[in-house]
Amino acid sequence: MAEVLLNEQFDRSELHCDLKWENEPAEWKVDQEKGQLEFKTDENTDYWQRTHYGFQADNGHFLAFETNENFRMTTKVRAVPQSKYDQAGLMLRFSEDVWLKTSLEYIPDGQSKLGAVVTNRGFSDWSTQFVDIEKVELYFRLSRIGLNAYADFSWDGETWNQIRIAHLDLPEGAALKAGLYACSPQGKDQLVQFDYLKIEKLSDDPSEAYL
């Protein structure tokens, strides 16, 4: 059985002492009865670096746990998008120039995009797949093994589907911040609800990302 580094069920009045906000949202709470972290996104928040048209943003909401271990991180998120590109999911972060996020990005007048953004050396790329969905209710999983990251999603928390395998431009043994994120690049007040955040230690065997 894998060693559990963090198992936050949001069933206490306070967040786990090792979870820290970066760009804390103006409006958030822990709903102990539901066992959920709930918040609304602030206006014009995003994570993106340079690629495509030079745009840079690094002010999304991120609740993070820091570790230098190999790990698997999972969550379930519900979201009620309000504006184009609203998103909520999981993130790994070394610095402003090196990070990975995975989520569904909401497109109100077409198919939404499920995918991952990988940023290395200050440049972001975005891999996507179309899904027909309006109210988001998804499971996400991110794993870190050495300098590599693995992103997956699930509709039921049991059967996982690969989104991305990526290399991160990290120093060997670097500590990463890992956790929940959400943002609203072109609006505000997206309601997001996370049911839990679980982080389990992995070995350096790449096959563990898919056990």
Task: Give the residue among 66, 87, 82 at the shortest CA–CA distance from 177.
Answer: 66
Q: How far apart are CA 120 and CA 135, in angstroms?
A: 31
For 44-65, give one letter per residue: b (16+ CB within 10 A) or e: ebbbbbeeeeeeeebebbbbbb
pLDDT digits (tens, 9 = 90+) for 19-49: 999 999 999 999 999 999 999 999 999 999 9
Mean per-residue pLDDT, 145-161:
96
Coil, helix or strand at residue 94 = strand
pTM of the model: 0.96
Q: What pLDDT is attached to residue 169?
A: 97
- Contact predicate 67/169, CB 8 Å: no
- Contact predicate 151/163, CB 8 Å: yes
Assigned CATH for 4-153+160-205: 2.60.120.200
* Torsion angle defined by CA atoms of residues 44, 190, 78 and 88, in that order, rounded to the nearest 10 degrees: 0
- Contact predicate 193/2, CB 8 Å: no
Instruction: Please provide the distance, in angstroms rounded to a whole number, between the alpha carbons at the two ends of the chain.
Output: 11
The DSSP secondary-structure symbol of 2 reads P
pLDDT digits (tens, 9 = 90+) for 172-202: 999 999 999 999 999 999 999 999 999 999 9
